[in-house]
Amino acid sequence: MAAASLVALLLTVLIIPLLSFLLIAAKRSSSRLQRGDGRRLPPSPPGGLPLLGHLHLLGRLPHRALGSMAASCGPVMLLRLGQVPTVVASSAAAAEEAMKTRDLAFASRPRLLMADRLYYGTRDMVFAPSGERWRQLRRVCVSRLLSPGRVLCFRAAREQEVAALLGRVRAAAAADGAAVVNLSELLITYSNAVISRATFGDGSYGLDGDDGGGGTKLRKVFGEFEELLGTVPMAEVVPWLWPVDVATGLERKARRTSEEIDRLLERVIADHRRRRRGARRVVGDGEDDRRDFVDVLLDLSETEEEVGGVQLDTVTIKATVVDMLVAGTDTSYSLLEWAMAELINHPTQMRKLQDEIRAAVAGGVTEDDLPRLPYLKAVIKETLRLHPPGPLLLPRETLEDTELQSYHVPARTRVVINAWAIGRDPDTWGENAEDFMPERFAADGEAEYQKMGLDFRFLPFGAGRRGCPGVGFAVPANELALASLLYHFDWEVPGGGRPAVVDMTEVNGLAVRLKKALLLVAKPWPR
């Protein structure tokens, strides 16, 4: 057959039907978008394409791309991500309306295909849609796992893990001729260890950095789990393109990873059940209570048939355990990494903080010292303002038709709050909004942590009924680690040159972190 007729045949058989399909699909989804019943929908940025909508405009760092779009389009925008209508809120006023004034209407979560695959069909709490099941699981999480009393139970574990972190810094500094420490790697190990000890107990199955039990392999599986969770399958945005996920191996990888995690969780639960048989049951909070999260969940499942109508069966326990591990690891590690990077780039603030800690503490930092370190808290808050680990929080979905800043938002619209853009908004933070200036929080003191989630200019932990219940767990673990690193060592970039600059380029993952590992020279103090 001549080449010209082959092209004609291809056009007829493949391309023309495909084009017609694309046009119909695009028309359908745009008419769904515009269904405002005469009410005013938020404005949409230009550049949307048939089928893809605005997806191609998000790039590798969606919080930045969305921030730029909001600067020209306004603080409430309507995007179409593939076929998913998505409202993006980028001002403190819009966030307050969504997370306080109309909290109930904005408090659900969309069904995410990857969470479905990895969390036993979304049997967990983080990704659960609003409803009785989520409410009861959240109650268990807030009052039984993350209450102030339970956080206190893990004080010894935190202090031991900080000691291990300092030991690793000393060893790495001594082993390397140039005394360069890969601090990023050590901070991941620390954050993993703190949350996995709280979740699994002292036999942390290697996640705490002890390689005796195959820890390296396990951490790799968890790394893959987190990477998958941050991936948006094609089928989610353009459902009929699901074969792409099969062809790219995404489906297979998700199945393999969730099976491996499930095998670990089965082993953990079986070990706990075996250990608990015949053992004396310790109930109640306080430092003497040695129960980990798995113990507490097993206690609840064994003593109460149902928690407010929700059965804490083994699958729910496994899903909740993964929630804790995933929610508590990358977020904390990213915060510590950004804090150290900002301090290296701001030596005056670094010196001020070290002076505060070294004047208040003798020998080594303990949790009792933390209330006496107001500048430490200011540094952590300023880091969270500029670098919220989850810059777009977790996606929400509207439960019913509602409004945002007088725009109509239909039921079941996906909602994204751009906490990163809100934290850098010059209208609320002033002309120096982009600068690292912990002094802006210096007057706050301890009470301000309680205000987190009430000040809508500053939303690293989200807010409202879906706000992060792990703040009380995260704060002491991060404060203790940062204060200890700064008490025991002086830090600089290799070469020690001035100006000492860490490359602050971001990379997107489950949390946004530094693209290049933080390689620093650690000099023990006192010398």
Summarize the annotated binding site as residue ranges.
468
User: Is the Cβ of residue 251 or residue 382 nearer to ligand HEM in the bound state?
Assistant: 382
Among 241, 307, 394, 433, binds ligand HEM (CB under 6 A): 394
How many of the other CB atoms lie within 10 Å of CB of 237?
18
CB of 394 to ligand HEM, least distance (A): 4
Identity of residue 297? L
User: Is the Cβ of residue 84 or residue 125 nearer to ligand HEM in the bound state?
Assistant: 125
Report the site for ligand HEM in 308-327 (rule: CB under 6 A). 323-324, 327
Piece of the chain touching ligand HEM by CB under 6 A; list 331-339, 352-360, 402-410, 444-452? 331-339
**Distance in angstroms (rounded) separating the CA atoms of residues 406 and 72:** 19
Phi, psi of 404 (to 5 degrees): -140, 120
Structure tokens at 300: 């609840």
Among 190, 441, 461, 487, binds ligand HEM (CB under 6 A): 461
Residue 279 gets which letter from DSSP? P
Q: Check: CB of residue 298 under 8 Å from CB of residue 274.
A: no
Among 141, 169, 183, 229, binds ligand HEM (CB under 6 A): 141
Q: Quick check: 462 binds ligand HEM (CB under 6 A)?
A: yes
User: Is the Cβ of residue 126 or residue 409 nearer to ligand HEM in the bound state?
Assistant: 126
Q: How far is CA 430 from CA 14, 81, 296, 456, 509, in A?
A: 56, 32, 46, 15, 29
Interface map 160-199 toward ligand HEM (x if CB under 6 A): -----------------------------------x----
Count residues contacting ligand HEM (CB under 6 A)? 28
Report the site for ligand HEM in 120-139 (rule: CB under 6 A). 125-126, 138
CB of 205 to ligand HEM, least distance (A): 17
Residue with tokens 């860490």: 502
Identity of residue 281? R
Q: Quick check: 470 binds ligand HEM (CB under 6 A)?
A: yes
| Coil vs helix vs strand at 52 | coil
Piece of the chain touching ligand HEM by CB under 6 A; list 57-65, 88-96, 284-292, 330-338? 330-338
Q: Check: CB of residue 322 under 8 Å from CB of residue 261.
A: yes
Q: Quick check: 466 binds ligand HEM (CB under 6 A)?
A: yes
CB of 244 to ligand HEM, least distance (A): 29
Report the candidate in 175, 133, 474 with the shortest Cα–Cα distance to residue 327: 474
User: Is the Cβ of residue 393 or residue 486 nearer to ligand HEM in the bound state?
Assistant: 393
Among 83, 108, 258, 332, binds ligand HEM (CB under 6 A): 332
Q: Check: CB of residue 162 under 8 Å from CB of residue 484.
A: yes
Q: Quick check: 473 binds ligand HEM (CB under 6 A)?
A: yes
User: Is the Cβ of residue 69 or residue 463 nearer to ligand HEM in the bound state?
Assistant: 463
Q: Quick check: 331 binds ligand HEM (CB under 6 A)?
A: yes
How many of the other CB atoms lie within 10 Å of CB of 444?
15
Q: Check: CB of residue 78 under 8 Å from CB of residue 45.
A: no
How many of the other CB atoms lie within 10 Å of CB of 262?
15
Q: Quick check: 421 binds ligand HEM (CB under 6 A)?
A: no
Q: Is the peptide bond before 499 cis (omega within 30 degrees of 0)?
A: yes
Q: How far is CA 91 from CA 65, 74, 234, in A?
A: 15, 9, 30
Piece of the chain touching ligand HEM by CB under 6 A; list 153-161, 162-170, 180-188, 470-478? 470-478
Q: Can you state the percent helix, strand and coil of the chain, rounding each to 5?
A: 55, 10, 35
Q: What is the CA radius of gyration of the chain?
A: 25
Piece of the chain touching ligand HEM by CB under 6 A; list 46-54, 68-76, 398-406, 456-464? 456-464
Among 209, 328, 410, 438, binds ligand HEM (CB under 6 A): 328
Phi, psi of 380 (to 5 degrees): -65, -40
Interface map 353-392 toward ligand HEM (x if CB under 6 A): ------------------------------------xx--
